């Protein structure tokens, strides 16, 4: 008598509210892609191109902080001349930066 009867309602509005609640999650993923993932992929691509273009005589800086001139170039390894008579073998991927010619005066 005092309690009204409850009737089942159609779930037509639930689909729209679900999409709206998913919108912040999708927006965060899009921002994450453009802020973090895309620049990292670009840096990896540039580093790979630089490592593949290494040639004998290039002056480089390695990940360990060594400065030297490339004396030998192999498929996976390079010979790096640190000073006269001191040469080390290292992986090509350890090269961080190629310097302009004449940057290293000691060699």
- 31-44 pLDDT, tens digit per residue, is 999 999 999 999 99
57: left (phi over 0), alpha (psi -120 to 50) or beta: left
In the predicted structure, residue 17 carries a pLDDT above the cut 60: yes
> According to the model, what pLDDT value does residue 6 have?
65
pLDDT in tens, 59-84: 999 999 999 999 999 999 999 999 99
Fold for domain 55-99? Answer: SH3 type barrels. (2.30.30)
**pTM across the whole model:** 0.71
Where in the chain are the domains?
12-53, 55-99
Check whether 15 has a pLDDT greater than 60: yes
């Amino acid at each position: 008598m005092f309690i009204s009867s409850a009737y089942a309602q159609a779930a037509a509005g639930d689909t729209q509210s679900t999409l709206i609640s998913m919108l912040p999650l999708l927006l965060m993923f899009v921002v994450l892609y453009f802020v973090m993932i895309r620049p990292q992929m670009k840096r990896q691509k540039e580093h790979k191109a630089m490592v593949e273009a290494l040639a004998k005589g290039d002056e480089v800086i390695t990940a360990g902080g060594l400065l030297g001139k490339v004396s030998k170039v192999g498929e996976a390894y390079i010979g790096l001349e640190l000073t006269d008579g001191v040469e080390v073998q290292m992986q090509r991927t350890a090269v961080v930066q190629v310097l302009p010619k004449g940057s290293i005066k000691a060699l």
